[in-house]
Structure 1
């Protein structure tokens, strides 16, 4: 038996040598020969040695297994010790964390209770603030509602005042302005009253200068400037209101204080029947004449300013025995129109057309003007400046200036000559655009016709451009103030300026017929139109028969050119292309084709035709067409000379 461990027990159990087997081997060997015995003994020894080695290996492996098992047991024991240590540490960490958590929880609970108290107080304050805001909101809404109503009321009142100004209802406007108690409006109204009275005095002076005597009877109803200022300072609001209204009426009545009804047109006028508004224009010009004042006839274009002026000449000859001489100035382009109208409406009037070369004008002066038997001298602006030494010798009764806005620049040579060296009893401007954006330009026109009334441009500018200059208030003008200033301007110039628009007298005008004729494009035009829209270029054929592409800019303009005439694209060709046959010029354009059909009919019916074009090159083509067809024409463009 063995008394050691497992390894020792296994080791003792091993058998080192089997003696019974060795005996048997020896017995077997004894019966063999010597050589056989030796071999068997050698084999037996080798087998015994191998068995011994095998047994030693087994013993070593048994020891290794025992050692490995011992190491494994030791490792397990160490792992168990480490695991126990880790469990202990985790338990300690858990206990520490639990303790800390409980401490934090107590702090958080304390904070929660504190915040709950704070929130409760906050909610209480919010409730109180909400109640206060509600109260303030109610009060604010009431205040806003009140001010909104007041603002709307003021807007309604301001709109009503503006409407009164637009409708020229000054009496109603002044009443509403007095109720509004606007200091700036009151200042404007007071200044207007003083202005009208000052102008009234100047109008009386102008009349005296024109008539050759001072008429106290017309001026005595107006206050002088100093008296007017004192009166405006002393009177109460009602008196100021009455003074303003009456001052406006007195101012208008003073200018046209003498009235002479014109119920029918002069008998000498043979060209036709004046329309009602033209007769009213004659009445206005006659009123200015008999009151010794001048004016501006500013009817819109097409209402017959020329005919009304001719009717004035007829009236002066027929009713007043005033045979002239009168001087009529106009642009050279409308001289022929004036001659035609004189021949149509007043054929018995001796009218001299003063124009031509120097020798022709000298012959006119010697043959027709020396005896001063003519009634009207009709000329243009250049002649006024060229022959001023001769023309200023005449004492003109009337100087009529057509297109009078040419005098809007006081410093121009024409204006200086007319103001300085030409003398006349009366002056009349004809213009379709009397009211200029520039006050100094408007003043220049008024100063020409009424130099004693509108004597300085600075005072005129102060009246209407900066009425609050020098005051401590902001000079920015409201719409009402601008309208009031415009109304003040209209009040000042209304007696001296007459303007009617077509919309106002359209019932008296013949109906205008507008016909829009749509023209088809020619094949050439269609080709160019397609090339421009698709590629922005056109194909041109050179005189040598080659084709080249011409790139174009501004497609919209190029399409317009294509719709007018394809020849407009041939400008770049050298030599320039000119058709020999008029039919070719007509066939190339749909518009020219229609024109070629219409013009012969209009010519046969005795019509005269105006053709307008925005392209000078198109006018060149029209000119070429007229020459080929033998039409008489006159071309007016920017290159047309005026002399």
Structure 2
């Protein structure tokens, strides 16, 4: 339950299912009266469609947070359309038509960055529009289906469209008065079921007499409301001219055209020539074309060409004489090249001067790639006022041409093309895996950025294979660039080092790696470039970047950051240390949306594309000023600017969903803390001593107890010791769980966590609640049978708890938990059938998601060795598998057993 407060301290988020909900947002604190806040919350509790409709209807004078403003405008657009369909109420099956795809795409482009914004697409807008249709019909039943009464109950300034219609048409035979105006009203249907229009003056005759006065006033009510908003219409009514056909000069027609929205808001139907579009009026613009400079290759270091000219919307260039005609025109609506166009000669002249100044600056110092990208996105040069910036956006047209246009298209929409044959030949020989089509496109995108010396963000959904795409890229670079080859640096959280090592060993063993970490090299602080000459990749952790001074002295080929949200704080020491490292290209990897916070976005782009978003304070101030102004379309411009540098594919994208299996199993390798290593080694040494003196059943009991002890130590030292606070930093699995569930929480997905140990469930539950900021559910052998159905119901509810911890035996059968997108096996039951049975709680009939199964494995321990035995069918024999299908170690010889349980020191990386 959201706290009731006189402040609006929450925002609107979009769930993976495409539903809107309110979430507490500490970055939002808008002063609003308490009753309004409470009513918004109440309506949202009745359903998101009811809350959305309420948001569109109410009158507010306070500037709302961006997510509220965006969805409020979407709802208001729906209500505006409702007002245009008076038969909506009398026809039970009538619905308000959804805007066309072009208009919906404009809405999508204007969407602010919000939680769940990655799920926003055309289908979601279609669905929300349908839901608004349904909820409006439901709510109108309380008002006898009287829409006007419904509006009045909200004190909303909405009006049903009446029977009055304003018509504006061209009068081509009269050059001085080239427009004709007529006000009409609808009377009846003709025999062909067409609405019949009569001049509004006829209404004075039709409704003459006192008995018809009320009907006449009702008919003219929209005109009265228009008079209140428009002095222009008020003058027409006062003089009586509105009841007659009128011939107008261009300036009168222009004034009428600019006030169409006022007439429609009053409930008047407006008909105008097709060439007029109030949202995108036809007008001459300053046309800027940016392209490749012939003397330079396109890329981060490139200098671009810049050309300025005047043209009409259809691309026709204006001559000097036509420009002079505009400058001397007395009207705002003039005819050029046979077209009626809107002109504002003062603004147009100022915008032309603005671009000529830019052109002069470019000629003096050339236009950099980053500056070109900013201009193409609609960002003007630093220091331009807000008013000037809006004028520039309205009266300019900026496009990329030639090779630059093609490259930007490839960056925004990567796809497999004819250039992939050579790459596939390299990968077929050196990558021990077959890439899916979307992964091949991802590799080509990364290679394009590398060749252009541009940075980028690979932000594919978890489970889509970001790591293997990076490995494929590094293999291609290694084979294509044998001369002047520089090693690459990959910075990762310490808990992910084991994962990268395992993936390289499995898929790209020809890549030689060096781990710049004290657990691998005691003299790691003294390394020089000569010692790294034979290595392809150097790994280090975020913690050690600031401790290893030699990192900034090496000219790296690529610097790649995994879990790049680690540098979202620009003032943090590790962020500054990472940004000081020089390289040809910089790539960041993240499975969480990076656009939810403008500050985070700036810091990440300051790494991959320094200067693209400008100075931090300028960017922040600019965003705060414009994000509440729809006409500025700040978010649309920002999205245009950053989109070429971000590649993000979701598991449910239509373009890739057919490439994915329904269930993807991933090994999640975990490191060990120093305490875990110490306890583990003590346990192995103690086992070795006891094996020398025990036999038979006593030995079997010893082996089983020791294996249980090692499993517990791998989970957390406190589980074996039986006391302590389960500090996350003391367990590699807890840290891995944090990284994984942070990403899951950011995407608002749900997860099942299985463990065979009931005693660790409370600690896991408390820990996960801090990550998800919500409590979860637990189920174990002590859970009453009658409570289980309620736990399932709560989890299956979209608004229910985000995580569910289950003991493997109690939760492994009989439950249907298809709302989970992830399954985590926190510790391993060494029986594949039992694990699969547990996984099937999420992956079963009715599941509409691609389920990711994460199997936690501590590198270099018995967990990794048993996993290899299970997955290597050739190694599995009757001696290793028990009758129930479980790995049995009690039958091994002492030597085999100790070899299996002993730590593999070559694979151990300690948590510092």
| TM-score of the pair, normalised by structure 1 | 0.48
Report 1 or 2 for greater relative contact order, CA contacts < 8 Å, sequence distance ≥ 6: 1
Rg: which structure is higher?
Answer: 1
| TM-score of the pair, normalised by structure 2 | 0.35
Structure with higher strand content? 2
